[in-house]
Chain A
Amino acid sequence: MSVEVTPQLPVEGHKESALERAPVGRKRRHTPKGVERAMPLLLLLPSVIAIGVFVYGFIAWTGWVSVSNWTTFVQDMSYRGFTEYTRLLSDFRFLSGLRNVIVFTILFVGMCALVGLLLAILLDRQPWGQPIWRNLFLFPLAISFVVTGVVWQWLLNPSAGVNILLDQLGVENLPMWYVSTEIIPGWQWGQIEVAIPVALVAVVLAAGWQMSGFAMAIYLAGLQGVSEDLREAARVDGATELDIYRRVILPLLRPMTITIVIVLGHISLKTFDLIFVMTGSGTGYVTDVPAVYMYEATFRANQFARGAAISVVLLILVVALMAPAVWARNKTEEGARE
């Protein structure tokens, strides 16, 4: 985006000639010295030191806690070993949480991308009142996850909300939503079932409702960057509208999809607010996620070492899943730009 440059300085040409003509004593080019050399450092210091100490330093500290003996209220930082990590490997709650957060991420990102794409396509073809539609779909983004959680908790409460509507429509076998302990059959892997807990679907709906607008906005920008020439050329070649979408437009939207996966993906891996407020960890831990487990282990059960270990694993999970995608994106972008 080009920035409107309001000239605040005299035109360069004028100055140059003045400088050329200038005898010694006129203003010379300012060379930074002394304090001014350190200016980058000074500008950066607050942020960088803060981030250095309070993020990286603290990550290291938490890493130490995870291998320490701090397992009760009284702090004890002596070395213990990697016991907590080995425990987590066979911890029913943690494994369930891990499965849940991965399933949740896949479903959530999938839903947002799909809904977002559909909405974007609709909006792209429907210029009438576009800002209104756009804002409408974007508004939930600005809402707190807490608000979403409270509202949807009631909407999908088995004895209230949507179920009452379904009941009036004559639906038998009302869904249990987030109270369900069913896990759509998958396969047993060690202690847990690797499958989709039905209760998570309720949470996915709530989260998807909130964040689909984001995907829509990204896709819309992408769609509107697709030149009409391209579409016309395809049409002339005899392609149907559907073909145009499938063969021409969708591939061009790949970068958008990657962006959406990255942004929404790392939000959903770290999700806490929505789960905590809407369902808690659920019976049989069907809606538990590592972030919630970490909170309860640390602040309720005083299991500080365990909480630290969980947060470290969460960090590794996010980095491991997101970093490659980001890296790939940066590479393609740099290539395109330079």
Chain B
Amino acid sequence: MAVDALTSRPASSDVTPDAGLPDSPPPRERRRGPRQLLSHYGSLALLLFAAAVMLAPLLWAVSTSLRVPAESFTLPPQWLPTDFVWENYLAVFEVSQFARYLTNNIIVTVAIVLGQMATASLAGYAFAKLEFPGRKLLFGLVLATIMVPIQVTIVPVFILITQIGWADTLLSLIVPAWPTAFGTFLMRQYFKTVPDELAEAASIDGAGQWQIFYRVYLPLAKPGLAVVAILAFNYHWNEFFRPLVFLSSPENFTLPLGLVNLQGYMGTGSISIVLAGIVISLIPVLVIFIIAQRFVIEGLMRGGLKG
């Protein structure tokens, strides 16, 4: 992306939707009059306010989770924790199979992500680089399934799962999630940016089709794989509906289902314990988010802007 040295914006006069998000664009030139300063600090203040509003629910959750359970409601809400009942966090593990929920969630999510990375790269490559009749139509059909609400297919999937004997197992969540239309779409995008000449050169060099894919293109699409992995991780880590339908024994529950179950038991009595569970569940999300935020944003750009 050519950047004009003088201004620090792209010199083209159109909006370029492909513009990746630079970490921090260099400050633009401006006349530093009092009006500018005011708007500068004004927007800062507004941002602070918005940030406070955004953070408030989470802060409230953290602070309430540290209160004595019986007093979760009676006293006026403190926005900063006053008592520090860390025992609530231990209690979460005692009153429910929380460790189990966490483990199950990890197993399911990682297994799904790995499987999706495989199917998405295979199919994405085929749609991007290989010529065959009906390619466009097929891809359109695949893409269209992104719109399909899960409710339309849940009952037949459930019956199939039951007949195979996977009801109430983690496999019922994992295997059906391996084919991914959105992941295929993303990988196709990435593969398309790799020049075709590489395939030419490789086949001249004697490489077979599979080798071209596996040794040439796939390594180049690693960023794409990372995006697919992150997005898939996020989606399936938080998934609720399929576990709700497929799983029935508490020890098989995934985390979101487990949280709702926790709320069902604790209900109005000990909301601080429920919130402690919530906070615990947010930690892995936060960690992944921090590590992967670059990829998340990029994925958003690609996914959002292209489809």
Contact = CB atoms under 8 A, between A and B. Distances in A.
* Chain A in direct contact with chain B (Cβ < 8 angstroms): yes
Interface of B is mostly: helix
B77 A125 contact: no
Interface residues of B, number: 126
A230 interface: yes
Given A43-B130, A164-B76, A150 B259 contact: yes
A245 interface: no
B142 A48 contact: yes
Q: How large is the interface on A (under 10, 10 to 19, 20 to 34, 35 or more residues)?
A: 35 or more
A273 B176 CA distance: 20
Interface string B26-66: 11100000000001100110110011001101101100100
B300 A218 contact: yes
Interface string B168-196: 00000000101111001000001001110
Contact of A19 (B147, B204, B288): B204
Contacts of B120: 47
Contacts of A131: 23-24
A15 B12 contact: no
B220 interface: yes
B226 interface: no
Contacts of A135: 289-290, 293
Contacts, number: 331
Interface stretch (A85-93, A170-178, A184-192, A305-313): A305-313
A147 to B, nearest CB: 5
Contacts of A17: none
Contacts of A285: none
Contacts of B99: none
A273 B305 contact: no
9 contacts: A122-B43, A125-B43, A146-B260, A150-B259, A225-B17, A225-B19, A227-B13, A276-B240, A307-B155
Given A54-B153, A126-B44, A314-B152, 15 more contacts: A5-B195, A15-B205, A19-B204, A44-B126, A47-B179, A47-B184, A127-B25, A130-B24, A131-B24, A133-B51, A227-B12, A229-B7, A272-B241, A315-B148, A315-B152
Interface of B: 7-28, 39-40, 43-44, 46-47, 50-51, 54-55, 57-58, 60-61, 64, 73, 76-77, 119-120, 122-123, 125-127, 130-132, 138, 141-142, 145, 147-157, 176, 178-181, 184, 190, 193-195, 197-198, 201-210, 213, 215-216, 220, 223, 234, 237-241, 244-245, 255-256, 259-260, 263, 271, 274-275, 278, 281-282, 285-286, 288-290, 293, 296-297, 300-301, 303-307
Interface of A: 1-3, 5-6, 8-10, 12, 15, 19, 27-30, 32, 36, 39-41, 43-44, 46-48, 50-52, 54-56, 58-59, 61-62, 65, 118-119, 122-123, 125-128, 130-131, 133-147, 150-152, 154-155, 159-161, 164-165, 168, 209, 214, 217-218, 220-222, 224-230, 232, 241, 252-253, 255-256, 259-260, 263, 266, 269-270, 272-273, 276-277, 290-291, 294-295, 298-299, 304, 307-308, 310-312, 314-315, 318-319, 322-323, 326, 329, 333
